[in-house]
Chain A
Amino acid sequence: KGKKVDSKLRKSTVSYKSASLLPKDSEVLNLKLHVDRKFETVILPVYGLPVPFHISMIKNISQSVEGDYTYLRINFFHPGSNIGRGEASFPNPEAIFVKELTYRSTNTKEHGEISAPSSNLNMAFRLIKEVQKRFKTREMEEKEKED
């Protein structure tokens, strides 16, 4: 054992090897939030483009209801944030990091809608937590095997 952990870089897992692997889900097509459980990736709409973020990039998430709207805030790992056990360094300290993204959705159901638009954020919140938990458990198991 010893202190070899210090020199270990934080590994970056790739979400998709090619764009053709992105799910063709209606949430993706309609620029909503989508959680791809198979590839452990969250797909977030940014000005027309569904953008994947691997679950390992996400530090934590929070949800709040303010008036007629639901907000979902996604915090990503970046230098200076506590990156947890091992305290591995970041592979690219000169890089710019997306630190936080906040999405907003209305809680008001329009006539004819089955559910309010904010149900997409509620579902994303639940699934991100679920995938994150599964990912962290597996990561910890792998670390235990190494030790």
Chain B
Amino acid sequence: MKEEAPLLEYNEVTIESRGLMIPVKLKLSDQGIAFRNVRTGKLETLQCNEVDVVNWQRIAGEYGIRIFASNGNLYRFGGFKDSDQSKIEKYFKLACEKTMTEKEFSVKGWNYGNAKFEGGVLSFEVSHAPAFEIPINNVSSCVTGKNEVTLEFHQHDDAAVSLTEMRFYIPPSELA
């Protein structure tokens, strides 16, 4: 007999939104993934068949779940403990038939690498591991100049510190 997927509820976790970790209540059940914004009460859901990739990753200094959806959107939940990993891994295995792998991010501290696009996500990779990811819907404008690209970002008024602009140097060969 097939083992049933566990029901997991996390009432004190967060979701990344425009650079801010927003408190949500997350429920992982055989119905899929549901998360409710604690402040607004807004409920969002994801079905298993919408999950393309699921990872366990470092986020906001702690651990979290990274879901790359088949529509190209990125969902990242934070505020988890080390000990949550195996339970969540089991959930995705049984409910969604997905293997939750660990996604390592570069901590080398280098400012040069490679920019890759996948779905709605720009990933900056430093020697084969991403250093950071930018969900493209945060970009308010993109300007290209000589050997450079400037991204400006939508601002979140609730954030204590927010990233407003990022400028890249693009080598001449890339522009050719």
Contacts and interface: CB of A to CB of B under 8 A. Distances in A.
Nearest to B115: A96
B31 interface: no
A46 B111 contact: no
A22 B107 contact: yes
Size category, B interface: 35 or more
Interface in B115-129: 115, 124
B36 interface: no
Given A15-B107, A77-B111, A100 B161 contact: no
A96 B169 contact: yes
A128 to B, nearest CB: 13
B19 A93 contact: no
Interface in A36-52: 41, 45-52
Given A80-B147, A103-B163, A12 B110 contact: yes
Interface of A: 12-19, 21-22, 24-25, 28-33, 41, 45-54, 57, 71, 76-80, 90, 92-106, 117, 120-121
Given A30-B60, A96-B170, A98-B112, 5 more contacts: A31-B60, A48-B19, A52-B108, A76-B111, A103-B163
